[in-house]
Structure 1
Amino acid sequence: MMRQAATTLTFRTSGAGLLEITGPVADWVVAQGMRDGLLTVFVRHTSASLVIQENADPAVRSDLDAFFRRLVPEDPHLYRHQDEGSDDMPAHIRSALTNVDLQIPLLDGRLVLGTWQGIYLFEHRRAAHRRDVVLHLMGE
């Protein structure tokens, strides 16, 4: 019988960079008691995003953050929108270039992630923020 479950997890970032959220997400999924299904992960913000990325070498996360900083610089001469500071519009662009949602299969009661894959909340603002991540699981 097909079931659904949903919740919102809140995470505190420490500023720009990638925060691994695999553990809390996987713990919630296991607690739902479903064997097979599909998890949707959605971040409710326009200046943060979600990525699945390597979780073995921390240099991957810092290199990825540095790449996005070079790709979308915080140059106030480039953007009209600066209502919340010079990092606001670049954060929106970085979010648009990545994902605000992910879909991850659930098989045999576990998220189907590769050996080195983790789920990350990608904070694009310099300051610390509280970020809401909505989880929706459909399965049986």
Structure 2
Amino acid sequence: MNPWVTLVIGLILGWVIEWVIDWLFWRREDEETAASTRTVDIDLQGKLAAIEAEKESLAARLQEALNKEPEVIVQEVIKEVMVKPDRLQKIHGIGDVFTRRFNEAGVFSFAQLAALSPERAREIIDPEEWQAIEPEQWIAEARQFAEKTQSN
């Protein structure tokens, strides 16, 4: 056989083998990568929708605040700023770490803690799975302490 024909047949055969290997191994990974990318895109779209909803909620709250009389806004701000912090550690089950988490969420007094729902208190504390917390009991104790503070 002519060496040129053998060379051309060898090149064609090598190209076909490379194409089969590429198709069987490399393209499959590309399809898997594309599928995982689509999953990530769906997750990101969900997160984006949640952020958009939160943005609309915040915009509505801002508009509501802007519609109030300036005197009312000033009184509310002063009320929030002038809150005398209570020692939340007096409540059974609340230590320094939980007090810090409540303070970071804007809860400084027994009255503010008493006004929380148990779900919101859990959300603020964000306990580990092994931590047993009793926000219902905390709220009840905070209510008692707040009543004592107001009566004095």
**TM-score normalised by structure 2 residue count:** 0.21
Higher helix residue share: 2
Q: Which has the higher contact order (CA 8 A, sep 6+)?
A: 1
Greater radius of gyration (CA): 2
Higher strand residue share: 1
